[in-house]
């Protein structure tokens, strides 16, 4: 994403009822079940959902108290919470199968700590984190508003609000913003495709959704009427896993920065925090957000890299995109290593990741979410390193 001049940039979001997000939610529900039983459980769960069928697969290492029957029931409850009780996909009677099996011993020997060997990374890979001060959440604005539109529709649907009458769980949004001098100033187009009951009047639906979008966007940002698109095909009754197969990990750009920043090689959902695909990506976002929150730069991209079985990161890269406030990027990289232990164990301890906190991350983005102190969730969104970073830079 270009960061200066005048340009248009687009990001999309998908709702919790999108087939791929249903799969992500179930995979993270499985992860939470294992972590609740044993915080040291190892999980790499993939889920497939299609017409009245749920399939779990992958590798696990955890207590026998987590049973196949219990996992299948947890998957059904996740589908129920999303809102699927349709003829083609229902939490009540979808056929469910569990093909999870024991984690490879070859992987375990590289990851487990033993003797003088610290816990190693669960796989090789590169991870990125990003923050920008163009929104209060320090997230890119196009993705921020795409998420917010669908989250608002979700909340209204669950509350039985008349504005969401006749809507079903599956939905997508797309927001294009006009940037002037590198800052977002208005929306030039908004697209919403949302599953609905048969017989819903599309013009009435368009008017209701238009009011929701207008409330979400800043004042004066609503695009021209001809650039507001609702269900462009004209009808969207058959949706969810009945309309399209869903798989874990197919919406990685929705999960991160909407294409405004790089994404590493792996998806997040269904993976326990020894997998650096997830935990190190959270650490990268945490560090980048704290850099921007500290006022050290307007934008920050951070990359980490790991090798399977090796505890310390192979590299840490910092890019302030020319917006640094008298900060040397090389020195900042050194300081970031000082203020946070970036070994897999260090990340997990610092961000308190070995807990059942993941089901709610599966939709509406893993980043830019508001931490809840009572539940101690989304810890990677806290800006609690600001003072440490400022003090270290004064040395």
- 58-to-43, 44, 51, 112, 270 alpha-carbon distances in Å: 8, 6, 21, 19, 9
- Output the six-digit token pair for 272: 């326990």
- 171 assigned binding-site residue: yes
- 321 assigned binding-site residue: no
Which value, to the nearest 10 degrees, does the dihedral of the CA atoms of residues 277, 283, 284, 285 take? 110
What distance, in Å, lies between the first and last C-alpha atoms of the chain?
A: 34
- 244 assigned binding-site residue: yes
8 A C-beta contact, residue 231 and residue 205: yes
- 250 assigned binding-site residue: yes
- 20 assigned binding-site residue: yes
User: What is the rounded distance in angstroms from the CA atom of residue 266 to the CA atom of residue 278?
Assistant: 8
- 350 assigned binding-site residue: no
Q: Quick count: other Cβ atoms within 10 Å of Cβ 395?
A: 6
Q: Quick count: other Cβ atoms within 10 Å of Cβ 241?
A: 27
- 102-to-37, 43, 262, 301 alpha-carbon distances in Å: 16, 9, 33, 36
Q: Quick count: other Cβ atoms within 10 Å of Cβ 308?
A: 15
The overall longest dimension of the chain from CA atoms, in Å, is 67
- 170 assigned binding-site residue: yes
- 298 assigned binding-site residue: no
- 242 assigned binding-site residue: no
Closest CA to 211 of 236, 230, 239: 230
- 271 assigned binding-site residue: yes
Name 40's Cβ contacts closer than 8 Å, sequence gap at least 6.
Answer: 354
Look at residue 250 and give its three-state secondary structure. Answer: coil
- 251 assigned binding-site residue: yes
Q: Quick count: other Cβ atoms within 10 Å of Cβ 25?
A: 29
- 197 assigned binding-site residue: no
Binding-site residue ranges for L-methionine: 59, 103, 244, 275
Known binding positions for Mg(2+)? 20
Residue positions in the annotated binding site for K(+)? Answer: 46
Which positions make up the binding site? 18, 20, 46, 59, 103, 170-172, 244, 250-251, 267, 271, 275
Q: Known binding site for ATP: residues?
A: 18, 170-172, 244, 250-251, 267, 271
């Amino acid at each position: 994403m270009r960061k200066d001049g005048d340009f248009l940039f687009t990001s999309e979001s998908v709702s919790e009822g999108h087939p791929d997000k249903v799969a992500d939610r179930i995979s993270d529900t499985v992860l939470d079940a294992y972590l609740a039983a044993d915080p040291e459980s190892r999980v790499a769960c993939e889920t497939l959902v299609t017409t009245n069928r749920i399939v779990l697969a992958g590798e696990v290492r955890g207590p026998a108290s987590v049973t196949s029957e219990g996992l299948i029931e947890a998957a059904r409850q996740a589908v129920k919470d999303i809102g699927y009780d349709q003829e083609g996909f229902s939490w009540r009677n979808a056929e469910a199968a569990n093909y999870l099996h024991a984690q490879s011993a070859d992987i375990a020997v590289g990851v487990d700590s033993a003797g003088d060997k610290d816990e190693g990374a669960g796989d090789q890979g590169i991870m990125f984190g990003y923050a920008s001060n163009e929104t209060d959440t320090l997230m890119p604005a196009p993705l921020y508003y795409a998420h917010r539109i669908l989250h608002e529709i979700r909340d209204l649907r669950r509350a039985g609000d008349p504005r969401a009458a006749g809507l079903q769980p599956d939905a997508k949004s797309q927001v294009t913003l006009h940037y002037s001098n590198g800052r977002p100033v208005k929306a030039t187009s908004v697209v919403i495709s949302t599953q609905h009951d048969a017989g819903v009047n599309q013009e009435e639906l368009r008017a209701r959704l238009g009011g929701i979008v207008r409330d979400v966007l800043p004042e004066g940002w609503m695009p021209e009427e001809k650039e507001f698109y609702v269900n462009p095909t004209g009808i969207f009754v058959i949706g969810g896993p009945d309309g399209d197969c869903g798989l874990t990990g197919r919406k990685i750009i929705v999960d991160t920065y909407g294409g405004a920043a790089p994404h590493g090689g792996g998806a997040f959902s269904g993976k326990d925090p020894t997998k650096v695909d997830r935990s190190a990506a959270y650490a990268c976002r945490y560090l980048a957000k704290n850099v921007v929150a500290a006022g050290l730069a307007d934008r920050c991209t951070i990359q980490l890299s790991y090798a399977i079985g090796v505890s310390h990161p192979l590299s840490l890269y910092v890019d302030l995109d020319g917006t640094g406030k008298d900060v040397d990027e090389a020195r900042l990289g050194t300081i970031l290593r000082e203020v946070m232990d970036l070994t897999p164990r260090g990340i997990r301890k610092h961000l308190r990741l070995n807990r059942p906190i993941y089901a709610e991350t599966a939709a509406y983005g893993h980043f830019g979410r508001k931490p809840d102190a009572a539940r101690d969730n989304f810890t990677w969104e806290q800006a609690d390193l600001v003072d440490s970073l400022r003090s270290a830079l004064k040395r």
